[in-house]
Amino acid sequence: MNILIKDVLALLPGDKGPKAEMTSVAISGSTIAHVGNVPEDFVADKVIDGKDKLLIPGLINAHTHTYMSFMRNCADDLSFADWLFNTIDPIESKMESEDAYWGSLLGQMEMIKSGTTCFNDQQMHIRQTTRAVKESGMRAVICRGLVGSDYDLDDRRLKETYEDMEYIKDCDRLTYFLGPHAPYSCGPEYLRMVADIARERGMGIHIHLAESLTESENIMKDHGCTPIEYAFKAGVFDSRTIAAHCVNLTESDMDLLAKTNVSVVTNPASNMKLGNGIAPVPEMMAKGINVCLGTDGAASNNSQNLFHELRLLSLIHKGTHKTPLCISAGEAFDMATINGARALGLDTGAIEEGRKADLALLDLNTPSMMPVNNPIAGLSYSADGSETDTVIIDGQIVMENRELKTIDEEKVYYNVRRICERLGL
């Protein structure tokens, strides 16, 4: 399908960050074919009028657990340990496999409706999530959460991982990473095994690191090193690695992350809500670390709306560092787009010829975006995601005029209510 988005204000990559320009964008199949100077012989199957719209690269949620969407607002104002071990784990133990399908669909609905086109997911119910992704039209990087202590190539979770990898081969919007959960749930030999497999198979790794002070203290007590050093010694950083959280970092930790080209995903709302703190994002940026943006799961964040995260990211570090020059609106937006694409190894995240057509059109005729003095500032400081009008993923329109084209919303709501009732939420 060929799509022409005509005469639109678009956020394009510039030498010093994103810039807003009036242009036209032509999509051929799944790819952005032309940005400006669309050839006269380009035949569009659909023309979208860009009047009073802002075209942006689709946002990339670089760390989440979409199946947890039905756990929203059920485990709040708790310590991290109480939240995880005494509340969330018991809920998960009562889940049925198909619950993850409806939970993931709910999360994907929320993401599409707020301009997110791709997410990086870690969880245990891969078949159900990939089923939901195939139906929704979203792009996703999926990894099955892995936990263990020994170097055991016959590990049940690994076998399930290999089976799940076969299930995604027919969908080029899906990529698979290995997902060792965290230092406190993966022993050094188990981590070494996962790292060896990732290196041999050319796979990426998605892991939680240095999320809480308790984690850092326990790893230091038990192993004499920080969580970052623990993962490094196990060989985790030998492959493309995405480290979620990284709240409690030492100077040497940041040097190590930069040296090994690890991408870090900051999750401001989840980290603050669980009382884990605020990641040293400006300091990581100064080290040249590729920092991305994520929501984490709705069980800890209560939202899958990356615009909420974008606003927090843009503001909290200005406050903690007592300078408005800390992180610019453009730098924050890059973390929600091109930095995420770079971390995941995807050809998305920017409106450029040759990249995949993962795009969102925002309505500028809304109170939050009016007047359009500086659209980049508007995205980081005043937008809330409800401005998202149309979403295109892989060249396919998945939402138009706020109407989802691939997901039956009422059916999802019905089944989520049914699940919550059965689980006693």
Q: What's the CATH number where 375 sits?
A: 2.30.40.10
Q: Which of 6, 11, 8, 4 is nearest to 383 (CA)?
A: 11
- Using alpha carbons only, what angle is made at residue 58 by residues 26 and 405, rounded to the nearest 5 degrees? 80
Do 77 and 274 touch, CB atoms closer than 8 A? no
User: Helix, strand, or coil here: 129?
Assistant: helix
Question: What pLDDT is recorded for position 85?
Answer: 84
Listed residues 276, 309, 344: the one ending a domain? 344
Count of domains for the chain: 2
For residue 44, count other CB atoms closer than 10 A to its CB. Answer: 16
Say if residues 32 and 70 touch (Cβ distance below 8 Å).
Answer: no
- pLDDT of 124: 85
Query: What is the Cα–Cα distance from 399 to 151, expressed in whole angstroms?
Result: 45
Q: pLDDT at position 15, please?
A: 86
> pLDDT 10s digit of each residue in the chain, 425 long?
999 999 999 999 988 889 999 999 999 999 999 999 999 999 999 999 999 999 999 999 999 999 988 888 887 787 878 877 888 888 888 888 899 999 999 999 999 999 999 999 998 888 999 999 999 999 999 998 999 999 999 888 898 888 888 888 889 999 999 999 999 999 999 999 999 999 999 999 999 999 999 999 999 999 999 999 999 999 999 999 999 999 999 999 999 999 999 999 999 999 999 999 999 999 999 999 999 999 999 888 899 999 999 999 999 999 999 999 999 999 999 999 999 999 999 999 999 999 999 999 999 999 999 999 999 999 999 999 999 999 999 999 999 999 999 999 999 999 999 999 998 88
Q: Which amino acid is at 209?
A: L
Residues 124 and 216 in one domain: yes
CA angle 10, 14, 15 (to 5 degrees): 175
- Which pLDDT does position 71 carry in this prediction? 85
Q: Are 381 and 236 part of one and the same domain?
A: no
48 and 65 housed in the same domain: no
Is residue 418 included in any domain, yes or no?
Answer: no
Question: Whats the size of the chain, residue-wise?
Answer: 425
Claim to verify: residue 280 and residue 336 sit in the same structural domain: yes
DSSP H or E run through 144: strand 139-146
The torsion angles phi and psi of 12, rounded to 5 degrees, stand at -110, 155
Q: Which CA distances in Å does 418 have to 98, 99, 298? A: 12, 10, 18
CA pair distance 417, 188, nearest whole angstrom:
41
Token representation of residue 178? 């290995």
3-state secondary structure of 126: helix
Residues 390 and 317 both lie in one domain: no
73-99 pLDDT tens trace: 887 787 878 877 888 888 888 888 899
Same domain for 356 and 213, yes or no, is no
Residue 414 lies in a domain: no
Q: Which residue has the tokens 């089976």?
A: 163
Same domain, residue pair 184 and 313 = yes
In a domain, 287, yes or no: yes
- Spell out the residues 6+ positions from residue 120 whose beta carbon is closer than 8 angstroms to its own: 60, 61, 62, 63, 64, 140, 141, 177, 206, 242, 265, 294, 340, 343, 344
Angle at 150 between CA 144 and CA 155, to 5 degrees: 45
- For residue 409, is it within any domain? no
Burial 228-261 (b: 16+ CB within 10 A, else e): bbbbbebbbbebbbbbbbbbbbeeebbebbbebe
User: pTM for this structure?
Assistant: 0.96
Residue 292 is assigned to a structural domain of this protein: yes
Which pLDDT tens digit goes with each residue over 353-389? 999 999 999 999 999 999 999 999 999 999 999 999 9
Flag whether 422 is in a domain. Answer: no
State the Cα angle at 258 between 256 and 263, rounded to 5°.
110
In a domain, 264, yes or no: yes
Q: Do 23 and 167 belong together in one domain?
A: no
In this prediction, residue 63 carries a pLDDT of 98
417 occurs within a structural domain: no
CATH for 174: 3.20.20.140
The answer to whether residues 287 and 392 belong to one domain is: no
- What domain range includes position 364? 2-58+349-404
Instruction: Tell me: do 12 and 121 sit in the same domain.
Output: no
Residue whose pair of structure tokens reads 């971390």 in the numeric block:
343
- Could you tell me if 222 and 147 lie in one domain? yes
Torsion from C-alpha of 379, 343, 261, 167, nearest 10 degrees? 160
> Could you tell me the sign of the dihedral formed by the alpha carbons of 283, 284, 285, 288, in that order?
positive
Asked whether 125 and 97 are in contact (CB, 8 A), the reply is yes
DSSP state letters, 353-376? TTSB--EEEEESSSGGG-S-S-HH
Look at residue 345 and give its three-state secondary structure. Answer: coil
Residues 290 and 163 in one domain: yes
